[in-house]
Amino acid sequence: MSEETFRAFYVEEKFKGEFSSSIEEVPFSFLPDHEVLIKVHFSSLNYKDALSASGNKGVTRSYPHIPGIDASGVVIEDASGTFKEGQKVVVTGRDLGSNTSGGYGELIRVPKDWVVELPSGLELETAMKYGTAGFTAMYGVKRLQREVILPEDGKILVTGATGGVGSLAIFFLSELGYKVVAATGKLDKKEFLKELGAEEVIHRDEITNVTESFLLSREWNGAIETVGGNMLDAVIRQTNHDGAVACCGNILGHELNTNIYPFILRGVSLLGIDSAICKMPMRLKIWESIAARNHDKLPGNFAKIVELENLQPEIDATLKGEQSGRVIVQHQTS
């Protein structure tokens, strides 16, 4: 008797260093041996997914592999007894889609500690409008709030503003009453960023084309910095006294070359955001905060839905830095 299969976006290493993707019927035995089996209705596309899908072994160690670091769906079975059959759930981060078969498959099997019950106020599709990007953005907001960065204190900068994390950070901060400055290299997206809630949109070069002075003029009270490299250094040096910078990306580089003076003369705090390995109490608070937002305020063109057959062009666009907003992956079974 032939083994049952499920449909998935399947990435293989055909030859050493050469990768290809296809839509395949994958045997159940491909799934890891964990407690919770979930029927995936939606996933989303993140930069990390695009790297995994293109064979980046810094993200995914071995192939064949099914990417997708986000998933929302319905529990089929749970050997631990924690979740009930039919319960709506969300899984983001941890190792999903990196080295564990991910949300671009119709099924995932994950440890019970990775699973969050879908919060009241969210639908499965809406949850994936946010996904890891929204989770990371809200985590950054909460870190700023922990440093008592208040809306009345001054402007908040968001870099990489048209990306998933950046765009949702703008939306969340604006919803919470903050004055947001959006920095981007895509000024043609200015109206899109203002729809999300940015009060001001500037070109990213205005931040980075500065002198090498230890301290620069104070431009904002806090920042969610999503790209790293020389941008992070420049943002730190332009942050106000007692301000804070939450950082979560490294597209412009993983090294930080800066100096001590913003920290010891202005009391600036540098806050790291690790959304993948976030402890469950904070994870639940973040999802509750996301669920409490007014989802209807998101621009109508903020997210587009694609099926597996149309996913590869979106991955290519993501790797080229041509995406804005969010891409939701819908399975035919949903």
At residue 97, the pLDDT reads 96
Q: Does residue 294 fall inside a structural domain?
A: no
Asked if 84 and 177 sit in the same domain, the reply is no
Domain boundary among 272, 289, 316: 272
Asked if 259 and 155 sit in the same domain, the reply is yes
How far apart are alpha carbons 227 and 116 in whole angstroms? 28
How far apart are alpha carbons 239 and 177 in whole angstroms? 19
Q: Does residue 14 fall inside a structural domain?
A: yes
Alpha helices in 176-323 (DSSP H): 190-196, 205-208, 229-237, 261-264, 280-291, 311-319
pLDDT, tens digit (0-9, with 9 covering 90-100), for 245-275: 999 988 888 899 999 999 999 999 999 999 8
Asked if 64 and 99 sit in the same domain, the reply is yes
At residue 1, the pLDDT reads 41
Structure tokens at 112: 């019970």
Asked if 148 and 231 sit in the same domain, the reply is yes
User: Which CATH number covers residue 235?
Assistant: 3.40.50.720
Angle at 118 between CA 134 and CA 44, to 5 degrees: 40
CA distances from 212 to 224, 237, 247 (A): 22, 9, 21
DSSP state, 151? G
Q: Does residue 200 fall inside a structural domain?
A: yes
Asked if 62 and 89 sit in the same domain, the reply is yes
Q: Does residue 143 fall inside a structural domain?
A: yes
User: Which CATH number covers residue 81?
Assistant: 3.90.180.10
Domain boundary among 222, 256, 272: 272
How far apart are alpha carbons 265 and 262 in whole angstroms? 6
Q: Helix, strand or coil for residue 115?
A: coil
At residue 300, the pLDDT reads 85
Q: Quote the number of domains for the chain.
A: 2
Average pLDDT taken over every residue of the chain = 94
Nearest CA to 159 out of 210, 228, 221 is that of 228
- Cβ count within 10 A of residue 275: 22
Asked if 43 and 98 sit in the same domain, the reply is yes
Q: Residue 312's domain spans which residues?
A: 5-118+302-330
CA distances from 150 to 4, 124, 198, 289, 293 (A): 54, 32, 17, 17, 18
Asked if 63 and 166 sit in the same domain, the reply is no
Asked if 184 and 67 sit in the same domain, the reply is no
* Cα torsion angle, 261, 158, 328, 292, sign: positive
Q: Does residue 10 fall inside a structural domain?
A: yes
pLDDT, tens digit (0-9, with 9 covering 90-100), for 219-247: 999 999 999 999 999 999 999 999 999 99
DSSP state, 278? -
Structure tokens at 323: 């995406």
Asked if 147 and 105 sit in the same domain, the reply is no
At residue 17, the pLDDT reads 80
Q: Does residue 308 fall inside a structural domain?
A: yes
Q: Does residue 281 fall inside a structural domain?
A: no
Q: Does residue 306 fall inside a structural domain?
A: yes
- pLDDT profile of the chain (334 residues), mean per 10: 83 88 95 97 96 94 96 97 97 95 98 96 96 96 95 96 94 97 94 96 95 93 96 97 94 90 97 92 96 92 94 94 88 72
pTM, to two decimals: 0.93
pLDDT > 90 in the chain, percent: 90
At residue 52, the pLDDT reads 96
At residue 2, the pLDDT reads 54
Any residues with CB less than 8 A from the CB of 12 and at least 6 apart, and which? Answer: 19, 20, 21, 22, 63, 64
β 326-330/36-44 pair status: antiparallel
At residue 291, the pLDDT reads 96
Asked if 231 and 308 sit in the same domain, the reply is no
**Spacing of C-alpha 276 from chain mean position:** 10
Asked if 90 and 23 sit in the same domain, the reply is yes
Structure tokens at 292: 């409490």
Residues facing 26 on adjacent strands? 6
Structure tokens at 43: 């996933």
Asked if 151 and 265 sit in the same domain, the reply is yes
Q: Helix, strand or coil for residue 129?
A: helix
